[in-house]
Amino acid sequence: MRIISGLWEVKELRDRIIFTLIVLFFYRVGTHIPMPGVNVNALAEYFRVALANTAFGMFDIFAGGALSRAAIFGLGIMPYISASIVIQLLSSTVPYFERLQREGEHGRRVLNRYTRFLTVGISALQSFGISSFLQSLTSPSGVPVVPNPGPLFVVSTMVSLVGGAILLMWMGEQITDRGIGNGASVLIFAGSLESLPNEVISTYTLWKNGAVSTQSVVFMLVFIVILTGLVVIATEAQRRVPISYAKRTVGLSPTAQSGYLPLTVNTAGVMPIIFAQSILLFPQTAFTFTGEGIFSGIAAYFQPGTLVHDITYALLIIFFAYLYTSIVFNPKEVADNLQRSSAFIPGVRAGDETADYIDRILTRILLPGALFFSAVAIIPYHVSTWLNIPLYFGGTRLLIIVGVALDLLQKINSYLIMYRYESLVGRAKVRSWRGMGIE
C-alpha cells in the first residue's frame, strides 16, 4: 500500500506510468483493427477448433489475440524479440558485432539499427507465410477465411502486418525510453492478460452449469496461488558471490569495501519455455497444415500429456536455458568489469580464473532452476486435465506475468527509493544551512 500511495508523489514516475498506459491503450486498439479481405468470424472459428495446440495458437496468446482476429498487430512484438536475440547471438560470436558491442553508445545505436532492419525482414517473411496460410483456410462450417484470394490480398496483408510490427517495435522502444519497464516485455505482458477476463467468465459458466464441481474450482485456485508464490521465489532466487574492492584511502585511514555479485537462478527468463514450446508444437502444426503424412504419426507421440511430450519438453527447456544464458550473460565480460573496477572475488585470481569460477557457479545453479520451470510448464496441464477444467493459466503465461510484474515493481520501487533519498538529502542541506545561520 505504501508503494501504491507513493506512485503519484514522484512526477517523473507518474508521467512514465501514464505514458505506458496510453501506449498500451493504443496497442489494445490495434489488436482489434482487422486487415482487409479476411472473414474474421471464419478465422476465429478455425482458431477455436483447429489451432488450439499449435504454434499459431501459442503465438496468438503472445499477440494478445490479434492473430485470431486478423488484426494489423497480428505478428505482435515477437519479430522484434527474434531479431534482438539474433543480434545478441551475433554479438557474442561474430568479431564485427563484438567490436560494435564494445564501442559504447555509438555501437549500441548501430546494433539497434541492425535490429530494426532485421525486424522488418522477419516480419516480411512471416507476413508472407501468414497471407499464404490464410488463403488456404476454410472454417469448420465450410466458410472460406479469405473470400477473394490473390496477389492483391497478399500485398495488402504484408503491408498491414509489417507496418503493424514496425509500429509495435516503435511503441516498445518508446515504453523503454519514456515509460516504465522493458517495452517488449510489457507488450507481451499486456497480450497475455488480454483473454484472462473471458477465461474467468468461462470457468464461472462451467461451474454454474454444473460441468465443474466447486471442489475442483477451489483446488485450482489454491494451486494457482501456490504455484505463483513458488514462481516468485524461484524468479527472485540469487546466488550471491562475495566480492571485495581494493583498499582506498579516505582521509588518513585506508578503508576496504565489500559487496556481492548476484547470479540469478532464472537468468534466461521465460525465453527457454517459449523456444521449447515452439519446437515441440511443430509436429502438430505441420500435421494441421498437411493433414496426413509423416507428421501425423509424429504428432501422435507429442500430444500434450504424453510421456514423450513431457520428457522432450523438459529436456528442451533445460537445453535452451543454458543456451540463452550463454548468449545474454558473458562471465569473461563480468570478470573484466570487476578487474577494471579494482574488485575481486576473495581467494580467486582476477581474469580468466574469475570468469571460470563465475561460469562454474552459474552452470550449477541453472540446472535446478531449469528443472523447476520445466515442472511449472508441464504440471498445470495435468492438473487441469485431472480437474476437468480447461487450461487457461498455463506455465508460460504464468512465468511471463510474474516475471514482468516483478520487474515493474522493482522499477517503481527504485524510483521511490531515489525520490525519498533526494528528499532526505534536500532536508539535510536545509538544516545544515540553517545551522550556519543561512536562510
Report pLDDT digits (tens) over 23-61: 999 998 888 888 888 888 888 777 766 655 555 666 666
The answer to whether position 50 is within a domain reads yes
The answer to whether position 81 is within a domain reads yes
CA dist., res. 176 & res. 191, Å (int):
17
In this structure, what CATH number is given to the domain that contains residue 142?
A: 1.10.3370.10
CA dist., res. 41 & res. 335, Å (int):
56
| 132-146, 275-289, 311-325, 365-379: range with lowest mean pLDDT | 275-289
CA dist., res. 206 & res. 190, Å (int):
26
pLDDT beyond 50 at 170: yes
What mean pLDDT do residues 180-190 have?
84
Q: What pLDDT sits at residue 52? A: 54
The answer to whether position 397 is within a domain reads no
The answer to whether position 315 is within a domain reads no
In contact, 357 and 348? CB cutoff 8 Å: yes
CA dist., res. 364 & res. 370, Å (int):
11
Structural domain including 156 reads 1-193
pLDDT beyond 60 at 87: yes
The answer to whether position 279 is within a domain reads no
pTM of the model: 0.77
How do strand 248-250 and strand 253-255 relate by DSSP bridges? Answer: antiparallel
Report residue 78 as a C-alpha cell. Answer: 515477437
In contact, 23 and 170? CB cutoff 8 Å: no
Question: Total domain count for the chain?
Answer: 1
The answer to whether position 150 is within a domain reads yes
Close Cβ partners of 409 (under 8 Å, ≥ 6 residues apart):
3
The answer to whether position 147 is within a domain reads yes
- Helix (H/G/I), strand (E/B), else coil: 313: helix
In contact, 317 and 272? CB cutoff 8 Å: yes
DSSP string for residues in 144-188 = BS-SS-SHHHHHHHHHHHHHHHHHHHHHHHHHHHHSSS-HHHHHH
Residue with cell 509500429: 167
